[in-house]
Structure 1
Amino acid sequence: MPFFQALKAPVLAAAAAPTLGRPFHQLPADPRALCDLLAGLTSARSLPGGQQLHAHALKSGAVAVPILAHHLITFYSKCQLPRLSHRLFDECPRRATATWSCLISSFAQNELPHLALSAFLGLLRDGHRPNDHIFPSAAKSCAAVSDARLGAAVHSFAVRTGFGSDVFVASSLVDMYAKCGEIVDARRMFDEMPERNIVSWSGMIYGCAQMGLDEEALSLFKMVLLGDGVGIVGGDMGGVNDFTYSCIIRVCSSSTLLELGRQIHGHCVKTSFVSSSFVGSSLISLYSKCGIVEEAYRVFYEMPVRNLGAWNAMLIACAQHGHTRDAFGCFERMKNEGTKPNFITFLCMLSACSHAGLVEDGKRYFKMMEEEHGILPTTEHYATMVDLLGRAGRLPEAVEFIKQMPLEPTESVWGALLTGCRIHGDTETAAFAAARLFELGSKSCGAHMLLSSAYAAAGDFEGAARARKAMKDRGLKKETGLSWVEWDNQVHTFVSGDHHHALRDKMYAKLEELSEEAERAGYVADTSFVPRDLDGEEKKRSIASHSERLAIAFALISLPPGRPIRIMKNLRICGDCHTWIKFVSRCTGRTVIVRDNNRFHRFDGGTCSCGDYW
């Protein structure tokens, strides 16, 4: 018996349909009237009502009418039951292009791209030509599997069949190329479009953001807001929707453009897009990455609906800022409200435990992930566990943990072990980890620098020099340490010993003043963090002009009194600078927030939020 014949069960056929509000015998027999009724149920995502109407259509024979079959396939798709859509499709006696279109769309919209592309091929084999509804679904599926080559074939077919210039087809192709990382092809197609809609603008902005082309993404966003784009179509906001706002806010996050991000936040409030889960999640990340975690909390608690992305964004914020207990509470609340954690959620929890040195809690979450939620750990989870054990000084346990991994250790796993070795000066284990890294063919200068730092921390400066020489022999160059601060709509960037800034004389004078105050308060330079065998005075001079110190000096002479100082770094803050900033925060009475490549440090009154554990 066909699958859907079960819907004609007596209990459904005889009973009144409470969702529809009347008995089946009072329902219209006209297929078009049934389609109108089903459209309302589809909009409401009313599965019981739709199934009851489907049963009525089966009894009356109306289900054989193609237009009603198409509405039913779409109904099950919208209810996130694409397998049922497929079964209904299989039972259709006649399959028109529209029938195939409904099936392909069902798979594409329910994240089954391989099935959507398989159905697309089935459509062609059946002798049908794709239309302006089918090509966008095919392009979306190519993007989902990151297959630009197949996407280009779909593009070529669309051009040959006369749909290449259709705004919906072209927009989906722009989005496809952008998501596949083919930004040149995306831009070429975008520029050739006579008119553009939300999908084309959002896709282009997303693609630029994904490729790190922040300035281009911001320029496109400005164009669409001001209406400078050619032929914008599609609604009151033209080329802007919640996805567009989410993308551009993430650009502000990655570049730590706080003031611009705040302006866009205000625009989201005015246009009511702030209620979107996508926008809310992006705003949480923005404020967290810019060091204003209190604002991230506020956005989170004001969200009317929180999806998994919002919960994960909040958990990441808690982890990065060292609010471990808040992360634990947030995790429990998320589960209690019915949101199921995913692999990212547990990565956040393990990271939070690592930042606080809570080894047993980390082990508990690692075990819970698979045993209670059926989520298999990835290499990222294993790397975070190694990081947790290594930072806590349990290096032999970390090595044993790696040996028992069911997956082959990756660069991130060995890198995490090297980090622990650097912190605790374990040169033997560091050499072992570095050797494994080099066997993997790693071309990262980070491994060499971690090894060099581990030797230096143990006082073996000859070993540190050998590690740096090995890096040079491999043609690798150490990443330049940068610190930057945003002020007056500009990002001011500094390197160690920087003498190029326009305010360099005032900065160095301020730096000398701060160092004298810190020394009077008890600060003593710790030159063990210099990885070279220099004399004492040279080491002190080397440390004294580190990029984070220059950034703080600049902020103190530029920012209004009392405003917190927010410094961003691309590398880990050195231990001596960490101590120095604690004294500066006490002497100046200013809050200093530093984000390095690992976490946030909030310095207040001579103490740091990390508790000197990072």
Structure 2
Amino acid sequence: MQRGMASMVRSRTTASSFMTALKACAEKKDLYQLSKIHADIYNSGLLQRDPYLGSALVSMYAKCGALTKARKVVGEIAVRDVVILNALIAGYAQHGCGKEALACFQQMRSEGLSPNAVTYVSTLKACAITQNVDVGERIHDEIASQGLLEKHVVLGGALVDMYAKCGFLRKAQKVLDELPVRNVVSWSALIAGYAQHGCGKEALDCFQRMRSEGISPNAITYGCTLKACGIMQDVDMGDKIHDEIANLGLLEKHVVLGGALVDMYTKCGSLMKAQKVLDKLPVRNVVSWCTLVSGYAQHGCGKEALACFQRMRSEGLSPDVITYACILKACAITQDIDMGKRIHDEIARQGLLEKHVMLGGALIDMYAKCGVLVKAHKVLVELPVRDVVSWSALIAGYAQHDFGSEALACFHEMQSDGLSPNAVTYACALKACSITREVAMGDKIHYEIARQGLLEKHVVLHGALVDMYAKCGFLKKAQKVLNELPVRDAVSWNALIGGYAQHGCGKEALACFQWMQQEGTSPTAITFVCVLSSCSHSGLVDEGQTLFDIMTERYGILPEEESYTCMVDLFGRARHFDKAMRVIKMMPASIWPSVLSALLGACREWGNVELGRLAYERVIEGNDLC
């Protein structure tokens, strides 16, 4: 009896020692030492006798990311219990291996073991990872039938998180509303779900409701709410949260909040505030720098994006794939082909094109926008994997530089590679059809777009279709397409008005302009250029004068070079030289050379020496100013 008691005491002492050693190895991520302790535990026979020691060993392997070894430990135990399998399920879920976690859950069931609250939490996380809402719903039913939600608050948050991550936001909201106790974890899970799926308003409403229940946000809540502010462009709410975070000293403790703040301000267009936040962060990482670089590039501030990139480099940080993609966009904006080539060399040297398809599209887009189309094509040909994005970038580049035939050749080659065009590809191909006047090809693309129901989903196709038919001279077809559009915006109206103007149909262009206004679509500067051009070519002097006046008076659009040119041309053609001279005197000096140089040639045709002399003097004066 005494000998048996002594053996038990020694066993417990040994198990306790092993536990301490296991924790130390896990903290250091020392897999070598962990494997040695594993061998000692196995040889001591404690693995079969002490389930807690077995589950601790599985957990420690999982924390070190050695999931294969964790699985091996489970296999070495003759009689497994819920605790040991829970450790393995949790390890898989923690490392994003949802499929494996669910397989372990099924194994537990097949061995006749009943899951507990800990099992359900990890398995719901696995359901969220794999988007397996069916298994999640079955677990929900089990939890409800056993009354576990009343006993284990953590299950409420796990259920809300699972439904939210699977995109079942109404179900997630319903679960939260019915919880006996709501805490910051369950509220944050729902706010995160709404923000993740672009539902900014709903996320902010939840944040306010949580607050009204007296629950204080944590760092995760703040991060998700800032994302919602970015979605809603609600910079005022973002400012308030920024103040709270700063007052609570959270920026020093949670690096992720710095990136969330920078992201929120950039998405709201407050780039100076975003820069200021980044400059004051106690720790700047690649994510926060990349967010600002991306923000600058997205808002067309290429020079600023490149400056941030250089600063990031000077702080010893290496760019990631997303940073490279954003910088290539900035190179395209600034037409900095030399920097673009250097980035290309870096990407190639690191072998990133083989691993990240998105960089291929970014490189092609950069070269194409810089007008280096031969290089853009060469990059595409050499890509290990070509996708619709990389093909579309090249097609867009050719179309942008008026190489319609080359754009359409790429369009056909892409399809022969077995890739289906997306809305962007179709829009670029339609532009190519308008350049080459290949209306038959445009008709085929129109048919495909209609067949796939893309007009209802992608507004960009509206203007592209109308523009293609109008530029090809099929004005009735262009008008018909516009009439049948689910939504008519300024771009599609401009395309039709521009088409009528191009073909000398001034009255039709004016009729479209009136119809556009009646529908409540506000004209843009481009609209006025199109309609003024049509008035010029059709000799509609009074109508043109009225339009020029209301452009500023009613719509607050200041005339630009094209508008002044149209008005001078309109009055000149009608031999209203005094009015043409008044417009010339109104023009800013910076645009005199380009507008008046064209006018000089027209003056010979009109035989107006005085207007010609004034034009000449203004050109000389403008050149002196420049």
Taking structure 2 as the reference length, the TM-score comes to 0.64
3-state SS of paired residue (2:354): coil
8 Å CA contact 1:31, 1:62 repeated in 2? yes
Distance change >3 Å, CA 498–CA 386, structure 1 → 2: farther
3-state SS of paired residue (2:112): coil
Q: What CA distance in whole angstroms lies between the structure 2 residues aligned with 1:469 and 1:342?
A: 48
8 Å CA contact 1:250, 1:282 repeated in 2? yes
TM-aligned CA deviation for residue 139 of structure 1: 1.6
Q: Give the corresponding residue for 1:446.
A: 460
Q: What CA distance in whole angstroms lies between the structure 1 residues aligned with 2:167 and 2:20?
A: 41
1:243 aligns with 2:257: no
How many residues matched?
484
TM-aligned CA deviation for residue 263 of structure 1: 0.8
Choose 264-273 or 78-87, whichever is displaced more: 78-87
8 Å CA contact 1:315, 1:330 repeated in 2? no
8 Å CA contact 1:461, 1:533 repeated in 2? no
Q: What CA distance in whole angstroms lies between the structure 1 residues aligned with 2:133 and 2:561?
A: 46
Q: What CA distance in whole angstroms lies between the structure 2 residues aligned with 1:170 and 1:100?
A: 22
Q: Give the corresponding residue for 1:120.
A: 105
From 225, 230, 233, the counterpart of 1:253: 230
Q: Give the corresponding residue for 2:359.
A: 381
TM-aligned CA deviation for residue 312 of structure 1: 2.8
* Alignment map for 1:198-597 (pairs within 5 Å): 198-227=184-213, 237=216, 240-275=217-252, 276-306=254-284, 308-320=286-298, 321-322=301-302, 323-329=304-310, 332=313, 336-337=316-317, 342-359=320-337, 361-366=339-344, 368-369=346-347, 371-374=349-352, 376=354, 380-395=358-373, 398=376, 402=380, 407=385, 409-410=387-388, 412-413=389-390, 416-417=393-394, 419-420=396-397, 423-428=400-405, 437-438=425-426, 441=449, 443=454, 444-450=458-464, 461-462=471-472, 468-469=478-479, 471-472=481-482, 475-479=485-489, 530=530, 534-536=534-536
Q: Which amino acid aligns with 1:178?
A: A
1:100 aligns with 2:85: yes
Give the CA RMSD over aligned residues: 4.6
Q: What CA distance in whole angstroms lies between the structure 1 residues aligned with 2:562 and 2:155?
A: 57
Q: What CA distance in whole angstroms lies between the structure 2 residues aligned with 1:206 and 1:85?
A: 31
Unmatched tracts of structure 2, length 5 or more? 1-9, 413-420, 427-444, 492-515, 564-586, 591-626
Q: What CA distance in whole angstroms lies between the structure 2 residues aligned with 1:327 and 1:575?
A: 34
Q: What CA distance in whole angstroms lies between the structure 1 residues aligned with 2:26 and 2:267?
A: 40
8 Å CA contact 2:466, 2:482 repeated in 1? no
Q: Give the corresponding residue for 1:147.
A: 132
Distance change >3 Å, CA 552–CA 303, structure 1 → 2: farther
Distance change >3 Å, CA 186–CA 68, structure 1 → 2: same
8 Å CA contact 2:157, 2:185 repeated in 1? yes
Choose 42-51 or 124-133, whichever is displaced more: 42-51
8 Å CA contact 1:448, 1:467 repeated in 2? no
Q: What CA distance in whole angstroms lies between the structure 2 residues aligned with 1:384 and 1:575?
A: 33
8 Å CA contact 1:108, 1:140 repeated in 2? yes
From 65, 70, 74, the counterpart of 1:89: 74
Q: Which amino acid aligns with 1:269?
A: A
3-state SS of paired residue (1:133): helix
Report which of the two structures shows the higher radius of gyration computed on alpha carbons: 2
Distance change >3 Å, CA 377–CA 182, structure 1 → 2: same
3-state SS of paired residue (1:196): coil
Larger relative CO (CA 8 A, sep 6+): 1 or 2?
1
3-state SS of paired residue (1:376): helix
1:542-569 CA-to-partner distances (Å, cap 9, x unmatched) read 899899x96999xxxxxxxxxxxxxxxx
Q: Give the corresponding residue for 2:172.
A: 186
1:17-48 CA-to-partner distances (Å, cap 9, x unmatched) read xxxxxxxxx99943235435644664565667
TM-aligned CA deviation for residue 389 of structure 1: 2.8
Distance change >3 Å, CA 546–CA 123, structure 1 → 2: farther
Distance change >3 Å, CA 36–CA 378, structure 1 → 2: closer
Choose 535-544 or 269-278, whichever is displaced more: 535-544
TM-aligned CA deviation for residue 148 of structure 1: 2.5
8 Å CA contact 2:176, 2:186 repeated in 1? yes
8 Å CA contact 2:92, 2:100 repeated in 1? yes
TM-aligned CA deviation for residue 152 of structure 1: 2.4
Distance change >3 Å, CA 526–CA 208, structure 1 → 2: closer
TM-aligned CA deviation for residue 305 of structure 1: 4.3
3-state SS of paired residue (1:535): helix
Which structure has the highest helix share of the two? 2
TM-aligned CA deviation for residue 221 of structure 1: 0.6
Unmatched tracts of structure 1, length 5 or more? 1-25, 482-495, 512-524, 554-573, 578-582, 587-614
1:410-463 CA-to-partner distances (Å, cap 9, x unmatched) read 2x456545654565455555666788644675613314534666x69xxx7455
3-state SS of paired residue (2:117): coil
3-state SS of paired residue (1:129): coil
Q: Give the corresponding residue for 2:162.
A: 176
8 Å CA contact 2:98, 2:126 repeated in 1? yes
Q: What CA distance in whole angstroms lies between the structure 1 residues aligned with 2:266 and 2:141?
A: 43
Q: What CA distance in whole angstroms lies between the structure 1 residues aligned with 2:375 and 2:528?
A: 27
1:38-80 CA-to-partner distances (Å, cap 9, x unmatched) read 4466456566775665565456554442211211221222233
Q: What CA distance in whole angstroms lies between the structure 2 residues aligned with 1:173 and 1:359?
A: 51
Distance change >3 Å, CA 313–CA 98, structure 1 → 2: same
8 Å CA contact 1:452, 1:468 repeated in 2? yes
Choose 462-471 or 82-91, whichever is displaced more: 462-471
Q: What CA distance in whole angstroms lies between the structure 2 residues aligned with 1:197 and 1:541?
A: 63
Q: How many percent of aligned residue pairs carry the same amino acid?
A: 24
Choose 184-193 or 210-219, whichever is displaced more: 210-219
Taking structure 1 as the reference length, the TM-score comes to 0.66
TM-aligned CA deviation for residue 374 of structure 1: 4.6
3-state SS of paired residue (1:181): coil
8 Å CA contact 1:357, 1:391 repeated in 2? yes
Q: Give the corresponding residue for 2:418.
A: none
